[in-house]
């Protein structure tokens, strides 16, 4: 994930563990999702899909800043 513009934000929102069998697990610190894959790169790709959607919804605003879920809902109801 080197060079990804969201790398620092992503890393603040997840925990990552590699098991002895080589499987990598990545979990959301808020408990919203978790993934497990046979390689770290596969786990990161899958985790980024979940993380990005929740980020766009404002779920991580307390961790990385930006608009909260409430802000986004209010904004959408005005338009």
Q: What is the pLDDT of residues 21-51, one digit of tens each?
A: 999 999 999 999 999 999 999 999 999 999 9
Angle among Cα 73, 75, 76 to the nearest 5 degrees reads 65
Q: What is the pLDDT of residue 23?
A: 96
pTM (two decimals)? 0.81
In this prediction, residue 6 carries a pLDDT of 86
Quote the percentage of the chain above a pLDDT of 90.
67
């Amino acid at each position: 994930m080197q060079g990804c513009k969201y790398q620092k934000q992503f890393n603040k929102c997840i925990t990552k563990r590699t098991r002895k069998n080589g499987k990598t697990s990545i979990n959301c610190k808020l408990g919203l999702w978790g993934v497990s894959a046979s390689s770290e790169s596969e786990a990161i790709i899958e985790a980024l899909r979940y993380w990005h959607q929740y980020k766009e919804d404002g779920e991580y605003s307390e961790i990385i800043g930006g608009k909260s879920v409430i802000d986004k809902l209010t904004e959408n109801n005005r338009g």
